[in-house]
Structure 1
Amino acid sequence: MSQEIEIEFKNNLTKKQYEELLSSFHIADEMILRQTNHYFDTPTWHLKNQASGLRIRETKEKIVCTLKEKTSKHTHLETTDVLTKEQADSMLNGNAFLAPTVKEKLIQIKVPIDQLAVFGSLTTDRVEIPYMGGTLVFDHSFYLNRDDYEVEYEANDEKIGAQIFEEFLKKFNIEKQIADKKIARFMQALNAER
């Protein structure tokens, strides 16, 4: 189990901007890692209504269950449990909730665990590189027959991180277009298809 504060800044990219950034930073194919997020909520959107998100993330290296709770505009408290493949499968199939620390936190914020269900999945090809004391992230996500691109900057300090990210966008002539969280973009796409 771990708990950490995540400070991140996001901006939408066009496919061309994404490809230009990969080229500018000399990103080789083997540096691009695939991850899949499976999103949970209740039928009455307990988590969404609290500006929170719950996901299981699968990568080649590990599987984790993470609860994200918004604490300020660019900051989230993340509570995470590492899962085995069997535990993840059981949770994805709605058989049991096997992330103990996340479960404890969900109970604290009054989310009915027995009503949680997966409402969709989103796959991202991700690159993470060190940049100016933080981490620069280039993402290409695909879900519900859509593709989108974004850049993130993860920092240890909200004020300094905001300044570094502003300068990064200016340096690469990227118009400021604040990106929603992946879960929010997924929900918008899901609602558009209904």
Structure 2
Amino acid sequence: MSQEIEIEFKNLLTVQEYNQLAGDLFSQAETIEQTNYYFETPSFDLKENGSALRIRKKNGTYTLTLKEPHPDGLLETHDKLTEKEFLSWTAGTPSEAPNVIAQLKKMSMDVAALEYLGSMVTFRKEIPYQNTLLVLDKSIYLDTEDAELELEATSKNHGEKIFNSLLENYQIPLRDTPPKIARFFNQKRSL
């Protein structure tokens, strides 16, 4: 099965903080455009389970990802989709995705109840940084734009130390930063 544990730290940024980090650390990094397409049931069953479901389009490929709580971070389960399968999912008829659907069934989730609720476009820059991956994102969704810094690590302790040190060096306050999907749904509810 295609699964991994994601250990990441994230912090929302002001425009000024984003621009400073972009200039200081990411000036040589390529910008990658990706789009997340979000799914949920009408009664928010995924959210109730602390989970999230999305399809990410990146470099012409489509990956369906289910994120679930895990003691060390998030358990991510993936399936690659064809464009036809992607279109089927966004049209409300989920196609075969064996890894994700098996996990959803373990959660007693009704796959047929899943609905496509919208998308978020992210312009991402990535660099290796002190044995971690540092990511600078600018996201656009539902007439909103925000920016965040993410750090992905293989160890929670190492990642937290590097992330906090970086924020301190740039005098960026640690902010409560919900995941992208939560920010998307919060904005959707406010419209």
TM-score by length of 2: 0.96
Q: Which segments of 5 or more consecutive residues in structure 1 lack a partner in the other structure?
A: none
1:96 aligns with 2:77: no
Output the amino acid matched with 2:62: I
CA distance in structure 2 between the aligned counterparts of 1:26 and 1:142, rounded to whole angstroms: 20
The share of aligned pairs that are identical, in percent, is: 39
What value does the CA root-mean-square deviation take over the aligned residues? 1.3
Report the CA distance shift for 1:88/1:102 in structure 2 as closer, same or farther (over 3 A): same
Q: Report what 1:77 is aligned to.
A: 75
Residues 16-48 of structure 1 show CA distances to partners (whole Å, capped at 9, x for unaligned) of 1111111002424x7011111011111011100
1:170-189 matched pairs, under 5 angstroms = 170-189=168-187
CA distance in structure 2 between the aligned counterparts of 1:96 and 1:105, rounded to whole angstroms: 14
Output the amino acid matched with 2:37: H
Q: Report what 1:37 is aligned to.
A: 36
Q: Is the contact between residue 32 and residue 127 of structure 1 (CA under 8 Å) also seen in structure 2?
A: yes
Q: Is the contact between residue 97 and residue 113 of structure 1 (CA under 8 Å) also seen in structure 2?
A: no
Output the amino acid matched with 2:36: N
Q: Secondary structure at the match of 1:6?
A: strand
Q: Report what 2:51 is aligned to.
A: 52
CA distance in structure 2 between the aligned counterparts of 1:117 and 1:45, rounded to whole angstroms: 10
Q: Secondary structure at the match of 2:18?
A: helix
Output the amino acid matched with 1:22: A
Q: Which segments of 5 or more consecutive residues in structure 2 lack a partner in the other structure?
A: none
Q: Is the contact between residue 63 and residue 79 of structure 2 (CA under 8 Å) also seen in structure 1?
A: yes
Runs of 4+ in 1 over 6 A off after TM superposition: none
Q: Secondary structure at the match of 2:92?
A: coil
Residues 102-140 of structure 1 show CA distances to partners (whole Å, capped at 9, x for unaligned) of 011100111100100111111100111111111000000
Q: Is the contact between residue 97 and residue 103 of structure 1 (CA under 8 Å) also seen in structure 2?
A: no
CA distance in structure 2 between the aligned counterparts of 1:50 and 1:95, rounded to whole angstroms: 22
CA distance in structure 1 between the aligned counterparts of 2:91 and 2:56, rounded to whole angstroms: 15
Report the CA distance shift for 1:26/1:77 in structure 2 as closer, same or farther (over 3 A): closer
Q: Is the contact between residue 153 and residue 165 of structure 1 (CA under 8 Å) also seen in structure 2?
A: yes
Q: Secondary structure at the match of 1:173?
A: coil
Q: Report what 1:25 is aligned to.
A: 25
CA distance in structure 2 between the aligned counterparts of 1:128 and 1:68, rounded to whole angstroms: 21
CA distance in structure 2 between the aligned counterparts of 1:88 and 1:174, rounded to whole angstroms: 38
Cα offset, 1:98, TM superposition: 2.3
1:136 aligns with 2:144: no
Q: Secondary structure at the match of 1:180?
A: coil
Residues 122-176 of structure 1 show CA distances to partners (whole Å, capped at 9, x for unaligned) of 1100111111111000000010100000000000001111111100101111111
Q: Report what 1:107 is aligned to.
A: 105
TM-score by length of 1: 0.94
Cα offset, 1:61, TM superposition: 4.0
CA distance in structure 2 between the aligned counterparts of 1:97 and 1:121, rounded to whole angstroms: 19
